[in-house]
Structure 1
Amino acid sequence: MIRTRLYALASIALLVIGFVAANAHLVTVAIGSQPDCVLDLSQRKGAALRPAKPSC
């Protein structure tokens, strides 16, 4: 019974660690990927939104 509880807690801990690590990875990739590619809000009225760089 104690061994079963230990396996259950270890499995839950691994799942939580994996979930946190995956989300941390997604956040770091989102922050680090092409930070210069943001929309340029034009000063003119009615102008369409466009990327900050043509390569984006």
Structure 2
Amino acid sequence: MTRPRLFAVSSAGLLVAGFVAANAHLVIVAIGSQPDCLLEVSQEKGAAPRAAKPSC
């Protein structure tokens, strides 16, 4: 493999690895952060949804 081609392939590999790592981090943070903060579904007609806890 020539040097420019090796550089291009390794750069593409690093880019893909960074993309996968960033998305994995986002999924882990989304799952681990305040899982109890879900929208409370109101039974009243026309009522806006609100957080389950005031601290959310």
Same fold (TM over 0.5): yes
Q: Which amino acid aligns with 2:23?
A: N
For 1:22, the equivalent position in structure 2 comes to 22
CA distance in 2, matches of 1:25, 1:48: 32
TM-score, with structure 1 as normaliser: 0.82
**Which aligned pairs between 1:1-56 and structure 2 lie closer than 5 A?**
2-56=2-56
Deviation per CA, 1:16-42: give whole Å up to 9, x if none.
100111111112111221111111011
Residue 19 of structure 2: SS of its match in structure 1? Answer: helix
Calculate the TM-score normalised by the size of structure 2: 0.82
Runs of 4 or more above 6 Å deviation: none
Q: Deviation of residue 46 (structure 1)?
A: 2.4
Stretches of structure 1 lacking an aligned partner (at least 5 in a row): none
